[in-house]
A and B are shown apart, each in its own frame.
Chain A
């Protein structure tokens, strides 16, 4: 199986997305598609960040709201919000973000792995992509992001 590290080593194209004021990146081969949010059916008795399930052209896709997960304010009137559909085992998970608007080429050697981070949001970050003078893009540890049952609110 492909581990997260393999991914970091090989990938050169990354999808860039926004949550609140921060920029994040995800290897493009993990991404299946980027969708506009449609009606999401709530799933009972699940952690709040599991928003529910959506009907993606006949397939039922669970949606994880990264803004809830990272405890940043959710602006529901935000028109640029997107769902990034990523592969999960044999099926998919949708990641609800504030915006997803760019694809960048990244030199694998420039990626920095992060260590010793204390704040709750950075718990999910496992690396950085320096962007010159701009803020670096954050690389998420997706397994931690969507893990059920660890940090139940």
Chain B
């Protein structure tokens, strides 16, 4: 059987289960008596086993099987949750992740050696358990090995056998849809959803993907494991419209010698029930990401045409045309927010690996920390989500390593021994905020200033004038390593300046709040999305360029004689402040310099740097769709970060305000000089 088409689904679901497994292991570690977590871990391990076996990944199946056995002993009260067992489970989890990676890379799980994990599990369990049950465990493993090489049905049979012995009933449900039923796939889906609320669906005919494709007549067959009564199941299925007949019969397995202990487990059942109640079904479907990207691309095309249409309507100035175009624009705005919302992903997908990371890191650093994650459901555009993982890892490590004190140090200061570290995400307006807050030692401003002076990042005079915010910002300067101030544990070569650059390249910024001995909070502010942005369009020698509106403070007119050279760098006075003047026309090689005596300038600001960008013509602001310059040019064009297609089909390059600002600060003439 060719299973390659299910591989992506397998990955997707395995990842979800691994995540669940990890989360609940963390909970269990905190509270070893939390049986609900044991149950959840068991469920995930169980599902993983099933999926791995179906896909023919036997190593993974036997691995999860071992985990399942150990967990089974716990929930039956035969085994205590010991640190050793937890470590074994965490280790097994790591191995499962490796197996999954290996499957993704080479299509097999054979490359990962799981002996160590199996041994650890075995030892952790057998440390307290008499030999007899362990032998039973081995026996189960044998049968599993045989069965995974056979068909799915054998495997399903085993589950049925096990669950009937735990008081569940397997039902064979045959549903005949009404002959007049138009949307059979939808009905099949609804029935599937109904049944899923009643128990566990082990098998369907046709398969779920065939149902989705509507490649079946009107007969559906489900194998359900449930504790519900026949009547209730019957009613629930019948409640879905356009069902002709529902035929339900208990499903019997031809008796086989049982290998697991035939003991009725009352506790787990309750837990399962509870779980079912807790997770209400939300009607969702999985969509291929490339399809979403396509949708987004199509929409981008549409936005371009809309601008064009608006332009034409303006020229023609016919009331009914204008009205229609206005209506299209309004619909477009709605469409846009809908398309955007589809692409939104909860930050959870990035956050959920942090608890484990913090756990491991705090062990390595011998620090005690209570880590809380808030607002993981906050949504961000996928383009942003993909980019923020690394900066956040960096900042969390930094907080743990340099922010929080050692337990002894904390006690000496009269603080609770266990430090707190909080990661919080929330929306405000059109922006998303991610806060990293700890109650550690705080930023020692005197030390920072001293260090900045040593490194010649600031002059004495500048230092004296700096307020809190500016001092805090110094730790993000290139070449400023916080490690030397407080500790030097992690030995990383990169500083927070990398984080800052990354966040700024995403159109965001970092705000720092800190009080000595009380802790530090970093607030990362990010735009909701990257692909459609507001821009100021300008003309340089006949060519249109776009400047991201997020960096534009305002526009003004300037006379040539108002530009003054200070140490060979042109400056211009703006609102009683001297800011560097960047002649965009010269910068982008169109001409030597501005030819007219008075011309407009755009005042741009990124982070705390402000500059004036001299242009030929201001065209006004417009919503633009960001496009890549392609693999050949992306990242290779100085001062340009992308492009957009305008209403008339012409391409406008997007000015990278961050990079021109960096080169603009002192090194302007070096990098770009005419």
What residues make up the interface of A, taking CB atoms closer than 8 Å to B? 39, 41-46, 50, 53-55, 58-62, 88-93, 146, 148
Given known pairs A45-B637, A62-B633, A88-B632, the reply for A53 and B650 (CB within 8 Å) is no
Given known pairs A41-B543, A42-B543, A45-B672, the reply for A61 and B630 (CB within 8 Å) is yes
Closest A residue to B589 using CB positions: A44
Q: Which residues of A contact B300 (CB under 8 A)?
A: 58
> What interface size band does chain B fall in?
20 to 34
Q: Is B393 an interface residue (CB 8 A)?
A: no
B667 CB to closest chain A CB (Å) equals: 15
The answer to whether A53 and B643 have CB atoms under 8 Å apart is yes
Q: Is B78 an interface residue (CB 8 A)?
A: no
The answer to whether A45 and B588 have CB atoms under 8 Å apart is yes
The answer to whether B588 and A89 have CB atoms under 8 Å apart is no
Interface centre among A39, A41, A90 (most CB of B within 10 A): A41
B305 CB to closest chain A CB (Å) equals: 10
Number of A-B contacts (CB under 8 A): 77
Q: Is B319 an interface residue (CB 8 A)?
A: no
The answer to whether B630 and A91 have CB atoms under 8 Å apart is yes
The answer to whether A60 and B637 have CB atoms under 8 Å apart is no
- Taken together as a complex, chains A and B put the C-alpha atoms of A61 and B627 apart, in Å, by 11
- Please list the 5 inter-chain residue pairs (A to B) with the smallest Cβ-Cβ separation, ordered nearest first: A89-B631, A44-B588, A91-B630, A41-B651, A91-B631
The answer to whether A44 and B640 have CB atoms under 8 Å apart is yes
The answer to whether A148 and B651 have CB atoms under 8 Å apart is no
Q: Which residues of B contact A89 (CB under 8 A)?
A: 631-632
Contact of B650 among A39, A46, A59 (CB under 8 A): A39
Given known pairs A54-B651, A55-B651, the reply for A44 and B628 (CB within 8 Å) is no
Given known pairs A43-B637, A45-B639, A60-B643, the reply for A53 and B629 (CB within 8 Å) is yes
Q: Which residues of B contact A91 (CB under 8 A)?
A: 628, 630-632
Sampled A-B contacts (26; CB under 8 Å): A41-B543, A41-B651, A41-B652, A43-B633, A43-B637, A44-B590, A44-B638, A44-B639, A46-B633, A46-B637, A50-B633, A53-B651, A55-B645, A55-B649, A58-B297, A58-B300, A58-B304, A58-B645, A60-B628, A60-B629, A62-B629, A89-B631, A90-B631, A91-B628, A91-B630, A146-B632
Q: A43-B629, A92-B630 are in contact. List 17 more A-B contacts (CB 8 A).
A: A43-B637, A44-B588, A45-B637, A45-B638, A45-B639, A53-B630, A53-B633, A53-B643, A54-B651, A58-B301, A58-B304, A60-B627, A60-B629, A60-B643, A62-B630, A89-B632, A93-B632
Q: Is B661 an interface residue (CB 8 A)?
A: no
Closest A residue to B636 using CB positions: A148
